[in-house]
């Protein structure tokens, strides 16, 4: 039988490796930024066009490469980071396998310019799908510039799997933020299609967080710091009152490398136990420093997952460190029976010296002076009263007995008043100030368990889920408002200003036209602020922030390019947020309004997410229960 096993050609092997390393343009951005950091750069510039599909360019002022290194860096498994297998457990750099540039070069047009400080000229290399087209000297500054053009040009099937430009841009921004947060000592900048998105100067961790997520973030952060033999924890957690409905601001960094760990995330959530509202998530930016021997980062192609040798110890340390910080800064309640909060010394008085009391005495004060004045005034008043002792009342003798008329019967000579037309107030005690217009219908519906509306039918009973029914009603009303006519908007006396990250404001900017059809009126949408001067008349001002947070959560993964899909998803999200919740008490008029509104819908049977809205219970089924 003939041999059937054969070695793959290099370009095929590189394309297979690229499938693991490069899923989307954001993967290329991550690899190139990490290479720049390994080159000890102090300034890194990222330039992208068309969400990275046309161009991704990373420029740094790092060490640069020699002519030989510039050529070898595109070979598979060519690296300067490791020489033996044991070196995998002593890694302190980002890249180490030597697969990134080889994989990128297999699926794009790549150009590289690099120059070391002591060299007079640099090296320029152009590669087209693993084939080196040219290598020649060039004039360039110290450092390296890598340009990746036409990503997936030779694998059109992979290119078809990419999402819209808005979605791919958000993924690039996510990767950029993760790298920038891990290295605040490095200055970063990001430009997309010629416009500046981020300009981050060299700073510390706290200021880097504020520069990325907005100035209002500073007041939300609680510092966390703990040093142990196993692990050093530094960073910040968000105050519980600022918890969000999305998991966007949750970052773990192990040895300055971003990772995803559901296990450690559970430790953080456990530390916030009892402090968070339902379906909200805390923000955290935690930097863990651990001995490289205790971790294995070579278990995932993108290196976002790490294996720890003692996860239970890390869990306990992390949870206790966050709990301690929340208690130390009076974010969480502290149970101390011997502590009197009234005896706490304010921070402003901590270094203040005690002052000696000063007693001021009025030496001109004479306590007898007031008594003398009082005695003189009393004698004067006595004389005055004696002089007026002969004073007589102003009324004459003929009216002396007039006061007695107040206590006698009416004068019979006067005509009696006619009280036949006087209406007396009803003495009937009612439960409301106003007459119930729907009193005749009060027996048609009632509420059960603050969740269901029960109504009678000729054939039996109708049981309606109030939240799902209201969701269906609002969904169809919102669809009509967005597609047919604009909804009624209530203007705010004072504009409402909300704080969001740049990605969230970008999403709201894309949804602005559709949101304005539902009743929102936006004054401005800037980098970190959204100013709202009008809201739909169905919601209150206090619900706006919650509603928009839920909307951003629903659109977190992707904003559909299709107008109908975007409108449909927007209407579903708003209806779900605006609908009355389980536990809300409804009066009879509100119950009847929901019943009538539901059966005026085109599809009253199911919610927008295809969940059952009501069930019917026939008389025959009831009779069977009593058999």
Give me the percent of the chain exceeding a pLDDT of 90. Answer: 30
Strand partners, 233: 226, 288
Sign (positive or negative) of CA dihedral 212, 213, 218, 221: negative
The stretch 477-484 carries a mean pLDDT of 82
Residues 110, 126 contacting (CB under 8 angstroms): yes
- Neighbour-count burial of 546, counting CB atoms closer than 10 A to its CB (0-12 exposed, 13-18 middle, 19+ buried): middle
143 φ, ψ (degrees, to nearest 5): 120, -160
Q: Which of 200, 160, 155 is nearest to 177 (CA)?
A: 200
Would the pLDDT of 442 be above 50? no
The stretch 180-204 carries a mean pLDDT of 93
Residue 567 sits in a domain whose CATH number is 3.30.1370.100
Residue 82 sits in a domain whose CATH number is 3.30.565.10
Of 15-29, 219-233, 443-457, give the range with the top mean pLDDT.
Answer: 219-233
Would the pLDDT of 149 be above 90? yes
CB within 8 A of 239, min separation 6: which ones?
220, 221, 222, 331
Would the pLDDT of 276 be above 60? yes
Considering the entire predicted model, what is its pTM? 0.69
- Neighbour-count burial of 65, counting CB atoms closer than 10 A to its CB (0-12 exposed, 13-18 middle, 19+ buried): buried
Note the pLDDT of residue 347. 58
For 244-257, the pLDDT digits (tens) are: 877 778 999 998 88
Pairing mode of beta strands 131-138, 221-227: unpaired
Using the 3D structure, point to which of 177, 200, 223 is the last residue of a domain.
Answer: 200
- 230 and 184 in a common domain: no
Would the pLDDT of 506 be above 90? no
For 4-51, the pLDDT digits (tens) are: 888 877 767 766 666 667 888 999 999 899 889 988 899 999 999 999
188 φ, ψ (degrees, to nearest 5): -125, 155
Residues 591, 446 contacting (CB under 8 angstroms): yes
Q: How confident is the model at residue 495 (pLDDT cuts 50, 70, 90)?
A: very high
Q: How confident is the model at residue 97 (pLDDT cuts 50, 70, 90)?
A: low
- Token couple for 166: 């808005």
Q: Which of 504, 511, 486 is nearest to 567 (CA)?
A: 511
Please count the structural domains in the chain: 3
59 φ, ψ (degrees, to nearest 5): -115, 135
Q: How confident is the model at residue 333 (pLDDT cuts 50, 70, 90)?
A: low
Tell me, yes or no, whether 48 lies in a domain: yes
- 180 and 223 in a common domain: no
Q: Please give the Cα distance from 56 to 356 (Å, whole number).
A: 70
Tell me, yes or no, whether 131 lies in a domain: yes
CB within 8 A of 497, min separation 6: which ones?
529, 530, 531, 532
Using the 3D structure, point to which of 308, 328, 348 is the last residue of a domain.
Answer: 328
- 486 and 512 in a common domain: yes
Using the 3D structure, point to which of 176, 200, 224 is the last residue of a domain.
Answer: 200
Strand partners, 55: 49, 149
- Token couple for 515: 């949101």
Q: Please give the Cα distance from 206 to 480 (Å, whole number).
A: 46
Tell me, yes or no, whether 67 lies in a domain: yes
- 611 and 474 in a common domain: yes
Note the pLDDT of residue 456. 85
Note the pLDDT of residue 192. 92
Least confident of 18-27, 212-221, 397-406, 450-459: 397-406
Note the pLDDT of residue 271. 92
Note the pLDDT of residue 286. 95
23 CB-side CA count, 13 A: 9
Q: How confident is the model at residue 577 (pLDDT cuts 50, 70, 90)?
A: confident
Q: How confident is the model at residue 389 (pLDDT cuts 50, 70, 90)?
A: very low
Would the pLDDT of 432 be above 50? no
- 191 and 212 in a common domain: no
Tell me, yes or no, whether 512 lies in a domain: yes
Q: How many angstroms separate the Cα of 124 from the Cα of each of 11, 31, 70?
A: 22, 20, 8
Listed in order, strand segments (DSSP E) in 408-473 are 445-448, 452-456, 460-465
Note the pLDDT of residue 318. 93
Q: Which of 133, 158, 143, 168 is nearest to 56 (CA)?
A: 168
Residues 269, 237 contacting (CB under 8 angstroms): no
Q: Please give the Cα distance from 149 to 320 (Å, whole number).
A: 48
Residue 297 sits in a domain whose CATH number is 3.30.230.10
Least confident of 87-96, 321-330, 470-479, 612-621: 87-96
- 291 and 163 in a common domain: no
- 532 and 466 in a common domain: yes
Return the higher-pLDDT residue of 7 and 320. Answer: 320
Tell me, yes or no, whether 464 lies in a domain: yes
Note the pLDDT of residue 203. 93
- 546 and 455 in a common domain: yes
- Token couple for 30: 């991550």
Note the pLDDT of residue 145. 94
- 303 and 224 in a common domain: yes
- Domain boundaries, position 235: 208-328
For 285-317, the pLDDT digits (tens) are: 999 998 888 887 766 666 677 778 888 989 999
- Token couple for 240: 């519980």
Return the higher-pLDDT residue of 406 and 555. Answer: 555
Tell me, yes or no, whether 102 lies in a domain: yes
Note the pLDDT of residue 436. 43
- 186 and 40 in a common domain: yes
| Chain mean pLDDT for the chain | 81
Tell me, yes or no, whether 366 lies in a domain: no
Note the pLDDT of residue 445. 87
- Neighbour-count burial of 265, counting CB atoms closer than 10 A to its CB (0-12 exposed, 13-18 middle, 19+ buried): middle
Tell me, yes or no, whether 268 lies in a domain: yes
Three-state secondary structure readout of 80-92: CCCCCHHHHHCCC
- Neighbour-count burial of 483, counting CB atoms closer than 10 A to its CB (0-12 exposed, 13-18 middle, 19+ buried): middle
Size of the chain in residues: 627
Note the pLDDT of residue 430. 47
- Token couple for 205: 């961790």
Q: How confident is the model at residue 225 (pLDDT cuts 50, 70, 90)?
A: very high
Would the pLDDT of 573 be above 60? yes
- 183 and 260 in a common domain: no
Would the pLDDT of 135 be above 80? yes
- 65 and 33 in a common domain: yes
Q: Please give the Cα distance from 252 to 231 (Å, whole number).
A: 14
The stretch 173-184 carries a mean pLDDT of 93
Q: How confident is the model at residue 518 (pLDDT cuts 50, 70, 90)?
A: confident
The stretch 147-152 carries a mean pLDDT of 92
Q: How confident is the model at residue 123 (pLDDT cuts 50, 70, 90)?
A: very high
- What is the Cα gyration radius of the chain? 39
Residues 189, 45 contacting (CB under 8 angstroms): yes
The stretch 90-117 carries a mean pLDDT of 81
């Amino acid at each position: 039988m003939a041999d059937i096993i054969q070695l793959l050609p290099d370009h095929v092997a590189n394309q297979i490796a690229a499938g693991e390393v490069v899923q989307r343009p954001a993967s290329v951005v991550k690899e190139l930024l990490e290479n720049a950091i390994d080159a000890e750069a102090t300034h890194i510039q990222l330039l992208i066009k068309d969400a990275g599909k046309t161009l991704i360019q990373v420029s740094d002022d790092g060490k640069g490469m020699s002519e030989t290194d510039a050529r070898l860096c595109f070979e598979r498994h060519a690296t300067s980071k490791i020489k033996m297998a044991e070196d995998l457990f002593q890694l302190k750099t980002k890249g180490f396998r030597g697969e990134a540039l080889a994989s990128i070069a297999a699926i794009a047009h790549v150009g590289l310019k690099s120059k070391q400080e002591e060299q007079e000229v640099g090296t320029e290399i152009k590669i087209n799908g693993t084939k080196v087209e040219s290598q020649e000297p060039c004039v360039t500054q110290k450092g390296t510039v890598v340009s990746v053009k036409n990503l997936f040009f030779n694998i059109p099937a992979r290119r078809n799997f990419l999402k819209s430009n808005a979605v791919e841009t958000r993924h690039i921004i996510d990767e950029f933020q993760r790298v920038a947060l891990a290295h605040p000592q490095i200055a970063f900048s990001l430009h997309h299609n010629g416009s500046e998105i981020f300009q981050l100067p060299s700073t510390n961790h706290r200021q880097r967080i504020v520069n990325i997520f907005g100035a209002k973030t500073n007041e939300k952060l609680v510092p966390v710091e703990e040093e142990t033999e196993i692990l050093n924890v530094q960073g910040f957690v968000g105050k519980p009152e600022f918890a969000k409905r999305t998991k966007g601001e949750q970052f773990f960094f192990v040895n300055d490398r971003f990772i995803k760990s559901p296990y450690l995330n559970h430790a953080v959530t456990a530390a916030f136990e009892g402090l968070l509202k339902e379906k909200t998530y805390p923000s955290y930016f935690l930097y863990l420093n651990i001995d490289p021997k205790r971790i294995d980062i070579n278990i995932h192609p993108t290196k976002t997952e790490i294996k720890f040798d003692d996860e239970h110890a890390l869990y306990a340390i992390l949870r206790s460190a966050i709990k301690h910080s929340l208690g130390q800064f009076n974010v969480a309640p502290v149970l101390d029976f011997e502590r009197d909060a009234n005896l706490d010394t304010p921070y402003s008085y901590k270094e203040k010296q005690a002052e000696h009391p000063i007693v001021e005495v009025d030496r001109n004060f004479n306590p007898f002076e007031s008594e003398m004045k009082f005695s003189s005034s009393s004698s004067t008043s006595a004389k005055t009263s004696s002089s007026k002792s002969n004073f007589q009342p102003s009324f004459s003798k003929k009216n002396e007995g007039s006061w007695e008329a107040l206590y006698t019967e009416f004068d019979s000579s006067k005509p009696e008043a006619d009280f036949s037309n006087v209406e007396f107030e009803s003495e009937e005690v009612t439960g409301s100030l106003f007459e119930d217009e729907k009193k005749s219908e009060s027996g048609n519906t009632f509420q059960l368990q603050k969740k269901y509306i029960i109504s009678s039918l000729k054939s039996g009973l109708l049981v309606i889920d109030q939240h799902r029914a209201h969701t269906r009603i609002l969904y169809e009303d919102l669809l009509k408002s967005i597609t047919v006519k604009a909804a009624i908007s209530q203007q705010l006396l004072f504009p409402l200003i909300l704080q969001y990250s740049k990605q969230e404001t970008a999403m709201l900017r894309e949804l602005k036209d559709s949101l304005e059809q539902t009743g929102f009126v936006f004054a401005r949408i800037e980098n970190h602020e959204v100013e709202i001067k009008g809201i739909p008349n169905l919601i209150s001002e206090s619900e706006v922030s919650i509603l928009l947070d839920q909307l951003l959560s629903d659109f977190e993964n992707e904003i559909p390019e299709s107008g109908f899909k975007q409108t449909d998803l927007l209407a579903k999200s708003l209806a779900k947020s605006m609908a009355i919740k389980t536990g809300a008490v409804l009066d009879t008029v509100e119950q009847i309004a929901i019943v009538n509104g539901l059966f005026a819908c085109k599809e009253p049977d199911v919610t927008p997410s295809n969940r059952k809205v009501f069930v019917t219970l026939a008389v025959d089924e009831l009779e069977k229960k009593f058999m």
